[in-house]
């Protein structure tokens, strides 16, 4: 494990995830940012607690990681289009992102990173799970790795979600059933591409490590018959999110997470009926996976 001079980095699980202490994200210098970025690449998702950030400060922190990615068909905040407000009201029965996924896999250039900042949290529940896709790849047998080499996947979202995964963002008609606030944010995607082909095993552009690139956005393996692809995808999805490859984060107001969509999956738990939760979310633009 690397050592960090300016920040305190404490892993929260064996597989991935670390809390970083001794940092005020509203006044970050370049050297501290470099250490945060290194810790993020090492731990895949990092968490900060008790942060007090204005939208401008969250945007400034996000921009250190790259260009802001604007969601193709969900509307950001009126004053800050960079920020998507993720709200679950007391009466909502659904939450945003409640099946295992990696963000915007339907896009030819999916988001590199997502920054989520907690504004209102339930007393209990509403945790987020993360899974390490480097470990998921590394743990496969050599013959399985050999078979998966070069395979391409077809990935759909959020308006085109099929039977397996109607909870990532929306129902088949593009509406967030049971979540009124989120439903109001969905615009007609028009010509936006909502289906993309990606490698099943991708190489992380910064670490050079191989990761399994699969999620509930993934529908088929190119060139395979459906009856062949289905059991392979089912196996890989179950394999990839086994508890040993995961961590779980308990939110408080002021907690902030940043995860790497190139080597993780995540899932929001829908276990706080009758309670409200509100988050400020920014995504960072990514490159085409290879
Ligand atoms: O609200 C959460 O815990 C995560 C939601 C999600 O999937 C996302 O922000 O990308
Ligand atoms: Fe997500």
Query: Residue 170 falls within a domain, yes or no?
Result: yes
Query: Contact at 8 Å (CB) between 114 and 256?
Result: no
Instruction: Residue 136: give the domain boundaries.
Output: 8-284
pLDDT band at residue 162 under the 50/70/90 scheme: very low
Q: Write down the pLDDT at residue 178.
A: 64
The pair phi, psi for residue 18, each rounded to 5°, is -145, 145
Q: Write down the pLDDT at residue 111.
A: 96
- pLDDT tens for each residue of 184-200: 666 655 666 688 999 99
Query: Residue 290 falls within a domain, yes or no?
Result: no
Query: Residue 191 falls within a domain, yes or no?
Result: yes
Q: Residue 59 burial by CB count (10 A; 0-12/13-18/19+): exposed, middle or buried?
A: middle
Q: Is the pLDDT of residue 234 over 50?
A: yes
**What is the model's pTM?**
0.93
The CATH number covering residue 189 comes to 3.60.130.10
Ligand 1 pocket residues where CB is under 6 Å: 86, 96-97, 103, 114, 116, 128, 266, 268, 279, 281
Collect residues with CB below 5 Å from ion ligand 2. Answer: 97, 103
The alpha carbon dihedral of 108, 109, 113, 118 has a sign of negative
For atom 3 of ligand 1, the residue with the nearest CA is: 268
Q: Residue 145 burial by CB count (10 A; 0-12/13-18/19+): exposed, middle or buried?
A: middle
Q: Write down the pLDDT at residue 177.
A: 55
**Ligand 1 centroid – CA 47 distance (Å):** 14
Q: Is the pLDDT of residue 170 over 90?
A: no
Query: Residue 214 falls within a domain, yes or no?
Result: yes
- pLDDT tens for each residue of 107-146: 999 999 999 999 999 999 999 999 999 999 999 999 999 9
Query: Residue 202 falls within a domain, yes or no?
Result: yes
For 245, the 3-state DSSP assignment is: helix
Query: Residue 289 falls within a domain, yes or no?
Result: no
For atom 5 of ligand 1, the residue with the nearest CA is: 97
Give the CA angle between residues 77, 72, 65 to the nearest 5°.
Answer: 75
- Could you tell me what percent of the chain has a pLDDT over 70? 87
Mean pLDDT of 259-263: 98
Q: Write down the pLDDT at residue 102.
A: 96
Query: Contact at 8 Å (CB) between 190 and 248?
Result: no
Tally the domains of the chain.
1
Q: What's the CA gap between 193 and 186, in Å, rounded?
A: 15
Active site residue 204: no
Q: What's the CA gap between 280 and 146, in Å, rounded?
A: 41
For atom 7 of ligand 1, the residue with the nearest CA is: 97
Query: Residue 3 falls within a domain, yes or no?
Result: no
Catalytic entry in 43, 71, 94, 101: 101
From residue 188, alpha-carbon distances to 73, 85, 184, 288 in Å are 6, 18, 11, 24
Residue 253: CA atoms inside 13 Å, Cβ hemisphere, count?
9
Q: Write down the pLDDT at residue 138.
A: 98
Alpha helices in 209-290 (DSSP H): 226-240
Tell me the ligand closest to 102's alpha carbon: 2
Query: Residue 81 falls within a domain, yes or no?
Result: yes
- Could you tell me what percent of the chain has a pLDDT over 90? 82
Active site residue 103: yes
- pLDDT tens for each residue of 31-82: 999 999 999 999 999 999 999 999 999 999 999 999 999 987 788 999 999 9
pLDDT band at residue 183 under the 50/70/90 scheme: low
Which residues are within 8 A (CB) of 202 and not within 5 positions of it... i.e. 6 or more apart? Answer: 210, 211, 213, 262, 289, 290
């Amino acid at each position: 494990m690397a050592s960090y001079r300016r920040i305190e980095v404490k892993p929260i699980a064996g597989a991935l995830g670390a809390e970083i202490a001794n940092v005020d994200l509203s006044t970050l210098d370049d050297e501290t940012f470099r250490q945060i970025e290194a810790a993020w690449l090492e731990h895949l998702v990092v968490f900060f607690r008790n942060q007090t950030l204005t939208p401008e400060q969250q945007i400034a922190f996000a921009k250190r990681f790259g260009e802001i990615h604007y969601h193709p068909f969900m509307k950001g905040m009126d004053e800050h289009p960079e920020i998507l407000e993720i709200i679950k009201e007391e009466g909502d029965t659904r939450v945003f992102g409640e099946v295992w996924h990696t963000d915007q896999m339907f896009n030819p250039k999916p988001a590199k990173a997502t920054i989520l900042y907690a504004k209102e949290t339930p007393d209990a529940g509403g945790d987020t799970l993360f899974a390490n896709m480097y470990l998921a790849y590394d743990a496969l047998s050599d013959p399985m790795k050999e078979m998966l080499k070069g395979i391409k996947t077809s990935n759909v979202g959020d308006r085109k979600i099929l039977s397996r995964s109607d909870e990532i963002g929306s129902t088949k008609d593009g509406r967030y059933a049971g979540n009124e606030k989120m439903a109001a944010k969905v615009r007609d995607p028009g010509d936006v591409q909502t289906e993309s082909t990606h490698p099943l095993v991708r190489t992380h552009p910064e670490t050079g490590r191989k990761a399994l690139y699969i999620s509930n956005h993934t529908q088929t393996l190119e060139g395979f018959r459906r009856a062949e692809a289905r059991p392979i995808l089912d196996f890989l999805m179950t394999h990839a999110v086994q508890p040993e490859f995961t961590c779980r984060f308990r939110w408080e107001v002021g907690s902030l997470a940043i995860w790497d969509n190139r080597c993780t999956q995540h899932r929001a738990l829908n276990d706080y009926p009758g309670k409200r939760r509100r988050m400020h979310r920014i995504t960072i633009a990514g490159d085409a996976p290879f």
